[in-house]
């Protein structure tokens, strides 16, 4: 710390410290001590350039060494022209013995701007005046290297302490002016060396200017001064000098930097005579130049000692203050250091214990580190919010609830993949391969995705789109979504909005709520780590309606390409760009999707699969995955085509294939069990040597064996053993043969064959018997075609008479019919009556009969207008007592005038009709276009009629006796 104080204290004069004086290490002398004292520690306010360095006896004539010229051994690095830096050749300023200093009565006058030069001290100065410099060099050459060094007086009006004159301006003063500015008393200085404009002086003895000799360079006549004679044994002088010595010693003691020199100093202190002691004290003190000049001018030894004592006492005081400052700062620093150390230790401990997250700085560092890779891509408004929150985090108390809120908020903000996109696949062929790999058929969906990729390729970027896949359950809506993501090389995220009623699920909670969370979309981005994932929103037709806000509207903001480039989550509170997200929604019934949402979607209907498609799916996809899932090898099992067909026709008739998948999995699970059972019962046989085998067979449980035989008979499973390995031809030795035998045994594969006869053993009794309840529909019964969320189906409409009597005409309805269907029945009743009146005017059946119309599967609620024509036909059949044509099914809404209006779900209804072995189907004429779009394998073998008026249906249904078919 002490160092710090000094360095700052010395700072202002560092730039001027030019020569680095180093006392030779082996010069075990007082010069050593003093040289270092002055060189290392100065608090001197004066420029160090002009600082004097103690060097030798000044030979002022009064000392013991009077007349002799001591050799001064001081290495002056970089100053001495002849110095080569080696100790042995340390440059020495050798003061020549002849001519003697006292012979110089006319000298060049060197102005000293900062401090007087004391006898026995070095002082480097800069001489800027070229003439003066030349004169100095000249005198050095002439073996007369002496000049007079005189302190410059401050200009009148300027403060002595604040030297306003720069070095340069000092040397600008010349001639008479300079002469007037010099103090009268100065020092005879030996010019030790000249290097460039730097001159090193060694002080010798005191001079007094008497007169000026020449102006440029200023040369003056001088008197050599001597101390006034004094009594060496004078007690007062002695006492004063001792006091100076002890004070100096104290100063050296208190200052730790000076402590090293105490020894040397005290060893040599005895060498001093009193006047030199006084000079020494004044020279090394930090006193200002006038005080020093006073000492220089004082010729009375006692007075000089007194002046010096004053200066060193002051030095002592400064030293004490310095010490106390140092101590105080040291205490402060060590306190801080201790704190720092403890903090570091605490951090390390927390890190070790995994508690590091609690630490604010660690937290901020964590967030910053997390943000760093994305910083450039992160939008500026987000960066700004993050920075603000980070600052806030630092200011908050770690235990406050606000802190936790901010921390969580920052956690979310920094974890999102700002500007991170996955490289999209724009290769149509590759995408097609992937789509085909995962799903059979679904040509519409696949085509749409390929279009999307093609557009992306041409434009260079892909835009977010909303595709809605609608269809019954199990047709692959969700799984194709996953497959699309794979084909596009986008990340996949699925969330279901079925029954979702809280807007916050989509838009997030405001941060002020406890346990607030961002919405699903933000969670999705965090999960997938890219900004262009494929998001599958499942069950969009089953959105709930919340008491607070409408989730559909929130979804609208999320999905709408016009709005979602700036989607604002309540929690996040900064807009996020969702325009690159590809949304795929799934729904069972498109009609249930809120209209504004539906409006923005591209709906692709997946109607369901016919038997043929299901066969393909089962063979190529479902069987494969089930086999792999159960660990069964392809060669171990065979499910015959007939069995598969039976499974599809009798167990899994619905539009989708999920149920089929379940059944296939069930079959394979059972096969796996069977294989394991067979395998384990074979195992001991396989690994035992031939003679031991007999034993095992003998000991084996007969009962178990019998049971096994029973099972085989019951299930009539054909179990063949297939050898995959040939017998070893020439086994070399016994060990080899045993090994081979084992390998052969483990490779023996049991093959389980599932055919129609064994199917029931695997999946139980068939669930579906024919959907047809009537082979030939009786009077009053007609087959209709319906469409539900589960796909198409056939249904009968039955009408019967309750009672008859004049004016009893009425209609009673059962079968869980909805309002629309009830109205349909009323319309049918009216229309049937009109038609009958038209066809058989005498027949008053409807007027006098109370009818009961029922739609079987009474437990299933039904609604919709498309059963209109079926109801009329059913009533007319009853009225005319004539059954309708065999294998006929129909669908169509009827108006009161008998016009047939179009219906929905043509494909599903066709598939259902085909499943029920219907040959003739009647569709509204307006649905012809839908029908024409169907694949040939769906329409194959069907006789379809398109009608726009009921009269055509009448002909088709009832006029078959004479075999005249109306088309």
- Catalytic residue numbers, as ranges: 866, 909
CB of 625 to ligand ADP, least distance (A): 7
Q: Residue 956 corresponds to which tokens in the numbers above?
A: 């088709």
* CA–CA separation, 220 and 186 (whole Å): 12
Answer yes or no: is 764 a known binding residue: no
CB of 635 to ligand ADP, least distance (A): 23
Q: How many residues does the chain have?
A: 967
* CA–CA separation, 643 and 653 (whole Å): 14
CA 75 to each of CA 84, 119, 198, 264: distance values in angstroms, whole numbers, following the listed order: 10, 18, 16, 18
* CA–CA separation, 21 and 78 (whole Å): 9
- Cα 140 to chain center, whole Å? 76
Residue from 165, 182, 132 nearest 47 by CA: 165
Residue from 124, 7, 132, 112 nearest 55 by CA: 124
Choice between 477 and 490, CB closer to ligand ADP: 477
Choice between 272 and 609, CB closer to ligand ADP: 609
Answer yes or no: is 471 a known binding residue: yes
Answer yes or no: is 354 a known binding residue: no
- Cα 378 to chain center, whole Å? 11
Choice between 369 and 444, CB closer to ligand ADP: 444
Rg (CA), the chain: 57
How many alpha carbons lie under 13 Å from residue 182 in its C-beta half-sphere?
30
CB of 623 to ligand ADP, least distance (A): 11
Choice between 295 and 475, CB closer to ligand ADP: 475
CB of 436 to ligand ADP, least distance (A): 10
Beta carbons of 901 and 893 less than 8 angstroms apart: yes
Choice between 658 and 751, CB closer to ligand ADP: 658
CB of 618 to ligand ADP, least distance (A): 9
DSSP annotation of 899: B
Beta carbons of 479 and 439 less than 8 angstroms apart: yes
* CA–CA separation, 219 and 507 (whole Å): 96
CB of 495 to ligand ADP, least distance (A): 14
**802 Cβ contact list (under 8 Å, min separation 6):** 812, 849, 850, 851, 852
Q: Residue 442 corresponds to which tokens in the numbers above?
A: 């679904």
CB of 619 to ligand ADP, least distance (A): 10
Residue from 55, 16, 61, 66 nearest 193 by CA: 55
CB of 927 to ligand ADP, least distance (A): 24
Cis peptide before 99 (omega within 30 of 0): yes
Choice between 586 and 650, CB closer to ligand ADP: 586
Q: How far apart are the first and last CA of the chain?
A: 113
Answer yes or no: is 478 a known binding residue: yes
Sign, CA torsion 904/907/910/911? negative
Beta carbons of 433 and 486 less than 8 angstroms apart: no
Choice between 225 and 655, CB closer to ligand ADP: 655
* CA–CA separation, 127 and 201 (whole Å): 11
Choice between 303 and 658, CB closer to ligand ADP: 658
Residue position matching structure tokens 């109205």: 823
**819 Cβ contact list (under 8 Å, min separation 6):** 863
Choice between 473 and 508, CB closer to ligand ADP: 473
Answer yes or no: is 473 a known binding residue: yes
Q: Residue 578 corresponds to which tokens in the numbers above?
A: 């969702």
Answer yes or no: is 474 a known binding residue: yes
List 804's β-bridge partners, or say none: 849
Please give the residue ranges that form the binding site for ligand ADP (CB under 6 A): 439-442, 473-479, 586, 617, 621, 657-658, 661
Answer yes or no: is 357 a known binding residue: no
Residue position matching structure tokens 């346990």: 515
Q: Residue 186 corresponds to which tokens in the numbers above?
A: 């100065």
- Judged by DSSP in three states, 751 sits in strand
Answer yes or no: is 270 a known binding residue: no
* CA–CA separation, 624 and 660 (whole Å): 13
CB of 578 to ligand ADP, least distance (A): 23
Q: Residue 229 corresponds to which tokens in the numbers above?
A: 């004679």
* CA–CA separation, 355 and 358 (whole Å): 6
Beta carbons of 72 and 31 less than 8 angstroms apart: yes
CB of 930 to ligand ADP, least distance (A): 21
Choice between 133 and 657, CB closer to ligand ADP: 657
* CA–CA separation, 935 and 852 (whole Å): 39
Binding residues for ATP: 471-478
Binding residues: 471-478
């Amino acid at each position: 710390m002490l160092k710090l104080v000094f360095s700052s204290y010395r700072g202002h004069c560092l730039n001027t410290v030019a020569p680095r004086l180093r006392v030779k290490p082996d010069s075990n002398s007082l010069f050593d001590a003093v040289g270092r004292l002055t060189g290392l520690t100065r608090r001197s306010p004066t420029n160090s350039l002009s600082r004097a360095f103690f060097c030798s006896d000044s030979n002022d004539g009064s000392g013991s060494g009077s007349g002799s010229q001591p050799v001064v051994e001081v290495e002056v690095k970089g100053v001495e022209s002849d110095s080569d830096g080696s100790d042995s050749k340390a440059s020495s300023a050798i003061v020549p013995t002849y001519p003697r200093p006292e012979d110089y009565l006319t000298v060049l006058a060197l102005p000293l701007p900062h401090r007087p030069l004391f006898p026995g001290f070095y002082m480097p100065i800069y001489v800027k005046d070229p003439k003066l410099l030349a004169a100095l060099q000249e005198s050095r050459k002439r073996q007369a290297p002496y000049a007079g060094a005189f302190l410059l007086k401050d200009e009148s009006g300027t403060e002595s302490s604040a030297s306003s004159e720069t070095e340069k301006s000092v040397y600008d003063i010349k001639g008479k002016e300079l002469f007037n500015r010099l103090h009268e008393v100065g020092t005879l200085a030996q010019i030790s060396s000249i290097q460039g404009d730097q001159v090193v002086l060694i002080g010798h003895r005191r001079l007094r200017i008497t007169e000026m000799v020449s102006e440029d360079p200023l040369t003056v006549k001088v008197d050599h001064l001597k101390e006034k004679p004094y009594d060496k044994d004078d007690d007062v002088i002695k006492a004063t000098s001792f006091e100076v010595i002890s004070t100096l010693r104290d100063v050296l003691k208190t200052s730790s930097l000076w402590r090293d020199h105490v020894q040397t100093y005290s060893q040599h202190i005895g060498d001093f005579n009193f006047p030199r002691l006084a000079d020494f004290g004044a020279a090394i003190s930090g006193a200002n130049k006038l005080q020093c000049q006073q000492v220089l001018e004082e010729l009375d030894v006692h007075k000089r000692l007194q002046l010096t004592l004053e200066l060193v006492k002051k030095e002592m005081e400064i030293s004490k203050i310095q010490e106390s400052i140092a101590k105080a700062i040291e205490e402060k620093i060590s306190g801080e250091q201790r704190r720092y150390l403890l903090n570091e230790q605490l951090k390390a401990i927390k890190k070790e214990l995994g508690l590091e997250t609690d630490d604010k700085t660690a937290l901020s560092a964590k967030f910053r580190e997390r943000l760093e890779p994305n910083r450039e891509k992160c939008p500026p408004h987000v960066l700004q919010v993050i920075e603000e929150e980070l600052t806030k985090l630092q200011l908050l108390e770690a235990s406050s609830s606000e802190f936790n809120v901010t921390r969580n908020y920052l956690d979310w903000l920094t974890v999102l993949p700002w500007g991170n996109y996955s490289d999209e696949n724009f290769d149509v062929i590759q995408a097609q391969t992937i789509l085909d790999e995962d799903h059979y058929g679904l040509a519409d969906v696949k085509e749409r995705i390929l279009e999307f990729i093609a557009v992306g390729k041409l434009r260079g970027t892909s835009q977010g789109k909303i595709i809605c896949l609608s269809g019954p359950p199990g047709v692959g809506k969700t799984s194709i979504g996953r497959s699309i993501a794979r084909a596009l090389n986008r990340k996949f995220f699925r969330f279901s909005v079925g029954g979702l009623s809280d807007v916050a699920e989509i838009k997030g909670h405001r941060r002020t709520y406890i346990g607030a969370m961002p919405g699903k979309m933000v969670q999705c981005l965090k999960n997938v780590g890219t900004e262009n994932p494929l998001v599958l929103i499942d069950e969009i037709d089953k959105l709930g309606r919340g008491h607070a806000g409408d989730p559909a509207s929130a979804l609208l903001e999320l999905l709408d390409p016009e709005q979602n480039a700036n989607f604002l989550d309540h929690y996040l509170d900064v807009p996020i760009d969702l325009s690159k997200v590809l949304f795929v929604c799934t729904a069972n019934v498109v009609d249930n999707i809120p209209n504004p949402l539906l409006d923005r979607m591209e709906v692709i209907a997946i109607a369901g699969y016919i038997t043929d498609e299901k066969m393909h799916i089962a063979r190529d996809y479902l069987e494969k995955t089930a086999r792999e899932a159960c660990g069964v090898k392809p060669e171990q099992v065979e499910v015959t085509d007939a069995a598969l067909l039976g499974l599809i026709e009798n167990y899994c008739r619905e539009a989708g294939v999920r149920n089929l998948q379940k059944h296939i999995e069930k079959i394979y699970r059972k096969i796996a069990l069977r294989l394991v059972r067979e395998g384990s019962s074979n195992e001991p046989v396989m690994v035992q040597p031939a003679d031991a085998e007999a034993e095992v067979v003998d000991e084996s449980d007969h009962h178990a064996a019998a049971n096994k035989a029973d099972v085989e008979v019951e299930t009539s499973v054909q179990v063949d053993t297939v050898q995959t390995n040939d017998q070893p031809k020439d086994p070399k030795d016994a060990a080899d043969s045993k090994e081979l035998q084992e390998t052969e045994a483990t490779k023996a594969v049991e093959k389980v064959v599932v055919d129609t006869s064994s199917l029931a053993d695997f999946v139980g009794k068939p669930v579906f018997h024919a959907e047809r309840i009537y082979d030939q529909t009786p009077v009053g019964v007609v087959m209709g075609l319906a469409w539900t969320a589960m796909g198409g189906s056939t249904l009968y409409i039955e009408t019967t008479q309750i009672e008859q009597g004049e004016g009893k005409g009425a209609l009673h309805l059962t079968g869980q019919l909805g309002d629309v269907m009830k109205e349909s029945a009323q319309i049918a009743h009216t229309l049937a009556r009109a038609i009958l009146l038209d066809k058989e005017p005498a027949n008053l059946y409807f007027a006098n009969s109370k009818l009961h119309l029922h739609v079987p599967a009474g437990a299933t609620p039904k609604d919709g207008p498309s059963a209109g024509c079926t109801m009329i036909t059913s009533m007319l059949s009853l009225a005319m007592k004539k059954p309708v044509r065999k294998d006929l099914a129909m669908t169509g809404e009827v108006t009161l005038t008998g016009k047939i209006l179009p219906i929905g779900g043509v494909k599903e209804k066709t598939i259902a009709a085909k499943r029920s072995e219907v040959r003739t189907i009647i569709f509204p004429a307006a649905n012809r276009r839908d029908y024409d779009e169907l694949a040939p394998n769906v329409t194959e073998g069907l006789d379809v009629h398109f009608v726009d008026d009921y009269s055509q249906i009448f002909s088709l249904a009832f006029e078959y006796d004479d075999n005249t078919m109306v088309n």
